[in-house]
Copies of this chain bind each other. A is one copy, B any other.
C-alpha cells in the first residue's frame, strides 16, 4: 500500500469542507466507511460516519464513527486503546462510500481479532478463519 502523510490532507476545516460537499448521505445523514490497514492492505471493518464524525476525524487525526446503536460519536479505540490513525480519506465515485486508510493499533474487531471479517463458508459451513490476537 502506498503511504500517504496525514498532513497532505490540508487543514481539518478545509479537508472537511472539500469532502462533505461531495458526499451523498443517506436519509439518516450517514455514509458507510470502510477502514483498511494502510500497511497490510487488510480490510479491517465497516462502520458509519455522519458529518460530525467526519469533522472529528479530520480534527483529531483518528477515525471517529457514528454509533448507530448508541446514537453518539464513537472514536474508535477510545476505551480499548485500539485507535485508528488516519492516513488517508478517500471518497468514491458516487460520493456514497468512504475509504479510510489507517494505522491500526491492536485489534480492529471488538472480538479482539485483527479484523472483523473472520467468517466464511468452508465446505458449506460458516467457519471461523482466525482467532483473537
Residues of A within 8 A of B (CB): 1, 4, 8-11, 13-15, 17-19, 21-22, 32, 34, 36, 40-43, 45-46, 88-94, 97, 99, 109-111, 113, 116-126, 129
Residues of B contacting A118 in the complex (Cβ-Cβ under 8 angstroms): 90, 93
Complex formed: what's the CA distance from A110 to B96 in Å?
A: 14
**Contact call A8/B116, Cβ cutoff below 8 A:** no
Least CB separation from A12: chain B residue: B124
Residues of B contacting A4 in the complex (Cβ-Cβ under 8 angstroms): 120
Residues of B contacting A36 in the complex (Cβ-Cβ under 8 angstroms): 43
Among all A-B residue pairs, the 9 with the closest Cβ atoms: A14-B124, A10-B124, A41-B41, A90-B117, A15-B121, A92-B116, A18-B126, A46-B97, A99-B117
Least CB separation from A96: chain B residue: B46
Q: Can you identify 26 A-B contacts, CB atoms within 8 angstroms?
A: A8-B123, A9-B122, A9-B123, A10-B124, A14-B125, A15-B121, A18-B121, A18-B125, A19-B126, A21-B126, A22-B126, A32-B46, A34-B34, A34-B43, A34-B46, A36-B43, A40-B41, A43-B43, A90-B117, A90-B118, A90-B120, A91-B117, A92-B117, A93-B110, A93-B118, A93-B119
